[in-house]
Amino acid sequence: MKIILLYGGQSAEHDISVISAHNIAQQIMYNYYDVQPIFIRRDGVWIKGAPLTEAPSTSGELILEAAEIAQWSQKADTASTGIVIQPGSIYEEDTIVFPALHGPNGEDGTIQGFLEVLNMPYVGAGVTASAAGMDKTISKYIFSQVGIPQVPFEAFDRQAWLNSKDELINKCEGSLLYPMFVKPANMGSSVGISKVENVEELANAVELALKYDFRIVVEQGINADEVEVAILGNADAHVSVVGKLVKEQSFYDYDNKYLNNSVSMQIPAELPEAVAEKIQEYALLAYRAIDGRGLSRCDFFVTANNDIYINEINTMPGFTPYSMYPVLWQGTGLGTRDLVEELIQLGLRHFEAKKALTADRF
């Protein structure tokens, strides 16, 4: 069977995607699969590289360039070459796609919808879960409906900000306390997120967030630990142990998380057993509420009084060697190679189940 490893993309999380793809490529069982790398450049061009017969030694080998460009590129000595293709040409029988894409145009249902149209099996969540999980506003409304506690928040869009900036600032200050966190509704990995302590910082943070999305979420900041749970499975999903971010500062931005790698983790988290079990229960509830499939990582806040608040759910979490998702499963007893294989099998099983469901309609 062939695996198409799809990575890169047009989102601000492009670089994380490449690192995730490299880590996944290290874990694939090459004696069972042919692996086809397909790199999506930042400008949206798809490049098909040579099939992988073994794991690439560096993530740089996965940054593909079109052959005609590589001839004169200054990066020609480090970049692999490939050919430009049309996205629809990836279709092949006996092939599953592993979309190691994070953020918009990858984790938000767009790629998933494209693969549904091609009628190809793929790893991870479907269109509904991907779109709902990516959009912080929509997911908050869903979590509210199923009774998962959340911190207070306000949500609005770009047009409302342009029309009623002062009114929205007053609304935020009237219902929330500083510090607040301002977030683009559709972005991950702390991209475009700001912690604000006053009205001037609030206005500037909204302007920053609007550079990444048309919609904004402003959340009440609280003094709490950040904990995370990994989820694996389709209808019979399982949860990992709970892990905690061990923080030396109150807020970690993109650079801290992915470039400096300055975030350490406590696995399992030192929590009362009943609290850890409740977090796992909420994680599964959130997963099922958005129609999760394959994998997700669910993030929570836990206060000193052991109050629990859901933060977000990520349907294609980072898969770098130091990302919480694979590390949580390692702490639960499932190695990353077996984890990757299980994700592939989950994608195939769902595809076969969907075919069986629709077989009698035609």
Q: List residues with catalytic annotation.
A: 13, 189, 323
3-state secondary structure of 171: helix
Determine contact, residues 337/27, Cβ cutoff 8 Å. yes
Q: Is 197 marked within a binding site?
A: no
What is the rounded distance in angstroms from the CA atom of residue 203 to the CA atom of residue 161?
10
Q: Is 165 marked within a binding site?
A: no
Q: Is 234 marked within a binding site?
A: no
Helix/strand/coil (H, E, C) string of 295-348? EEEEEEEEECCCCEEEEEEECCCCCCCCCHHHHHHHHHCCCHHHHHHHHHHHHH
Q: Is 299 marked within a binding site?
A: yes
Q: Is 181 marked within a binding site?
A: yes
Determine contact, residues 3/33, Cβ cutoff 8 Å. yes
Q: Is 211 marked within a binding site?
A: no
Sole residue written with tokens 């919808």: 113
Determine contact, residues 21/3, Cβ cutoff 8 Å. no
98 — phi, psi (to 5°)?
A: -110, 95
Q: Is 182 marked within a binding site?
A: yes
Q: Is 256 marked within a binding site?
A: no
Q: Is 314 marked within a binding site?
A: yes
Q: Is 183 marked within a binding site?
A: yes
What is the rounded distance in angstroms from the CA atom of residue 243 to the CA atom of residue 237?
18
Helix (H) or strand (E) holding 159: helix 158-163
Task: List the structure tokens of 62.
Answer: 């996965």
Determine contact, residues 134/212, Cβ cutoff 8 Å. no
Give start and end residues of each alpha helix (H) in 2-109: 14-27, 67-70
3-state secondary structure of 229: strand
What is the rounded distance in angstroms from the CA atom of residue 114 to the CA atom of residue 361?
22
Q: Is 73 marked within a binding site?
A: no
Contacts of 105 by beta carbon, 8 Å cutoff, 6+ apart: 9, 10, 11, 44, 111
Q: Which residues are annotated as a binding site for ATP?
A: 136, 181-183, 189-190, 219-226, 311-312
Q: Which residues are annotated as a binding site for Mg(2+)?
A: 299, 312, 314
Q: Which residues are annotated as a binding site?
A: 136, 181-183, 189-190, 219-226, 299, 311-312, 314
